Structures are given as structure tokens and as C-alpha cells.
Amino acid sequence: MSLLGDWVLPGSLICIMFAMGLSLTVRDFQAVFGNRKALAVGVAAMLIIPPVIGVTMAALFAPSAALAVGFVLLATCPGGMLSNLFTDMAKGDLALSMSLTIIVSLIYILVVPFYAHLALSHFMGVQAEVSVPLGSFVWQIFSITILPAGAGFILRHYNPAIALKLKGPVKLIGAIVLFTAFGFILVDQIPMIRDHFGQLLWITVAINVLTLGAVLMLCRFMNLSGPENTAIGVEHLIRQEGTAIYIAVSIIGSNEMSLPMIMNTPVALPIAFIFMTLARRYFSKSSPHVARA
């Protein structure tokens, strides 16, 4: 499995982050602060609500220390690029969705080493903390996220024609390799899945449903519009599990730890489809609960 952890996962993630960079323009970043209230609510929700729920569920119900760390990593993932597509299909606020994806992804890269380190220290003890130094965490995550995304952004800025030609094939290659890696991990972890499938499933479902419910309550309290509710809700369901899997498998060296992230993909997608259908019906044309000043 060293080939998987040392080459396959990092390579797929580099391709995906490079493709993400090819999709970004200066205008995207200029539009980030177009709606400051909804943006602030969405960013704060992503940084607080899922980690609190994930850590609580992991501490109370995870069947092993490695899986507990995995659930913490899952709960701290930012929204994935597919969240923008789902938001658009649900008639949500697409600009808000893209802004949340960009900002929370950048913050995530800075804070995830600390989340992971604290989770390792708490659930797996001092030995894990010593064997995975914080400085190494930061550099390895930086090198497979910010660097390729930055390279893609620079190429898009200076040569958009080539960037647009490369974006589709690079993203496709990265996605195929990443899902192939998922398959190898699943095969390797069949005994663990067989023993704990029920617990993995219901904890993953609970994290998604509780998070979505808490986020929608916050959006209602903050008097956000229906399309803004949709964008923020979808962002909390469709996540970037790839980086968290890379941390678990390639940096920490635990295939078991990656199972919550792999489980989340087939769990979150149906929940997102249900939410998208309801959002199109109830949120797409709704206005804020009271008139804005």
C-alpha cells in the first residue's frame, strides 16, 4: 500500500487541486466579498458547527481511536467543487457557494494540521503525535494543495486558452485515480468494514443530518434568503474528502482512518439530492424572513 499512499493519492490530489486552480480567475476572488453577511455566516458555520458535531460523535460513538480521528477529519473538511454544481441545480446563490468553497478551502489548509494533530493526541496518544510532526503536516498539505492550485491559477491568468483545454482532462484523470484509490482502500479494509459497517453508516448519516439541521437553523436566525440558505446547506454536505484521505493514508499511514471519508461520499450524495429537491421547491423563490434594512 506504500504505492497508494506515496504516489497514487498525492498524484490524484495534485491533479484535482491543479484543475481547481485552472477554474479560478481574479474576478472570482473579487466577488468573494460581494455578500458579506451571508459569507460571514457561511464561513463561521463551516468552521464551528461540523467540527463540534463531528468531535462529539467521534468521542461518544466511534468504535476505534483511528476511526474517531477519521470522523474528526471528515467533520473539518471544506465544501467540495461539486457543491457549486449542486447549488446551481438547486437554484441557490452560486456566487456565495463559490466564495465559501474558495475561502474555507484556504482556511482549511492552514488549520487542518492543528485539527489532525489535536485529534491524534487525544484519541491515539503521545506516540502518534511524536511520529507525525506538526511542521511536516503543514508542509505536506501545503505542497499538494496550495502549490498545484496556485500553479493552475497562474496558468489560467496568463494563458486562459491552454488552461481551459487542460482543466477537463486533468480533473477527470485526478477523479479517476482518486476513486481507484478509494477502491483499493475499501478492499484492504473489508474486515474492518464488515465489523463496524452499521456504526460507520449511522454516525456518518447523523453527522450530515445534524450539521445540516443546525446550519439551516442558524441561517433562519440570521435572516438569510432562501438561495443563501441553499448555498450554505449544500456546502456543508458536499465535501472535499480527498485531502482528508491523503492526511489519513499518506501522512499518518492509516487506511482505517480514511473509512469515514470514503463512507461519506455515498451517504452525503443522497442527502444532498433530497435537500436540493426540497430547496428548489421551498427556498429558490423565498425571501428573507423580515425585510432587510
Residue 138, judged by CB atoms within 10 A of its CB (0-12, 13-18, 19+), counts as middle
pLDDT band per the 50, 70, 90 thresholds, residue 196: confident
Please list the residues that pair with 239 across neighbouring strands: 79
- Report d(CA 252, CA 243) in Å as an integer: 12
- Most confident by average pLDDT, 133-137, 158-162, 176-180: 158-162
What region, left, alpha or beta, does residue 125 occupy, with left being phi > 0 and alpha being psi -120 to 50 degrees?
left
- Report d(CA 219, CA 34) in Å as an integer: 18
pLDDT band per the 50, 70, 90 thresholds, residue 253: confident
Q: Are 212 and 49 in contact (CB under 8 A)?
A: no
254-276 pLDDT, tens digit each: 888 989 998 888 898 899 999 99
What is the pLDDT, as a whole number, of residue 290? 39
With CA atoms as reference, report the closest residue to 265 among 250, 245, 288: 245
Neighbours of 186 (CB within 10 A): 16
Average pLDDT estimate for 10-33 = 76
pLDDT band per the 50, 70, 90 thresholds, residue 22: confident
